[in-house]
A and B are shown apart, each in its own frame.
Chain A
């Protein structure tokens, strides 16, 4: 059930055009037990970026070729949006509001204190981890639902509406015993024991919306 993502430890990607800041931030992150990789430009970072690797990015807002905000737009695309902690040397309120609205974890002013940076990184990594877990679970649930036959899906829809086997059999024009077998298959394939748990899964799969 666990994919190969679990085997890769989370990374902190630090992107800043100032090499001495990169070195210092990497040291700080390492000293707090994080693995950090540094890049002097967004381009360099994007060139070898793998969205499947868990982790977060610490990005300087003011960089020449591609601004931090533009990088944020690029990273938010795709299945695995990467959480971003911004650091900036110029206090531009407009930019910070824009960044926070676009879902940045935090917007820290340089010089940034270790407590603030590390706690932002911690919550970014937690968010990334939680997001990945959720996405993986959802994928798993979708997979289970995909295993159901058409008839079983019909039966599942009836179960979710709280119908009894007798009513289901009547509605679908089958005998009650067959309906009972279908119900057993649905519960087995969806790996649940109660209707309540099945309802929960259906909610997560968004079956009620359709």
Chain B
């Protein structure tokens, strides 16, 4: 198999799930003839027709509401947010209705909400968001944020087959920048399982999505200085794989969290709390955060670069923590 891009991996997952399961439909803005703003749904219309590839008006609440209604009759809709920033427009529909259904009235909503997220492509303040933490605080949702083509495909398939509403964040910086050979056979990557990307013993670096690659780059640089970092890709943020995190930190005794989301209220804070509760005596240093600044995502390349974490920032923070 020739290597495929991150974007192609997601497209393949949609394609294969739709072919295998007539319950799966795609709904969103410009998803049919145009194939979506980033072409993730390209080719689906030709194969699966108008009934299963549904264009909508610019109405995010209607997209989520309709997808939810469809799921109640046993369908498995995959709803696209043209940019994940726009998920804010249907916040109420998602958090107050979709997410609460199973707990309150025994109504599972098997649906996926997917969309391009993240910065680094000069998208500016309304097309670069990492809004995962708004939803991490919402019981009933699952949150997936993959970093490799293999994971993107396997996690998308697992998300579609899951009986719960899953938010699937696709970092747009990765769409066409990384390629990977992936198996031809049907496979899934289970939700709620992190993966160790690089083994090490001096400190643990936890990350996900585009920052996973940044963290690996930093780990390479650290290795040249004799610092052996273990890098873990969280993959699913909700539910969070505490077991893998704790196992690693109990081995390395130090933890650095790298995320592209802004600092205050980011998942690093949640992880710090978990470690404080469950691995306090294993820690030989403070939990360190490398994150974006607590500002909107600025537009100018010089500003966005200052806003985002990068390998140098991770390297510096990790080295300091290793020597703590």
Tell me, yes or no, whether A binds B: no
Binding site for A on B (CB under 8 A): none
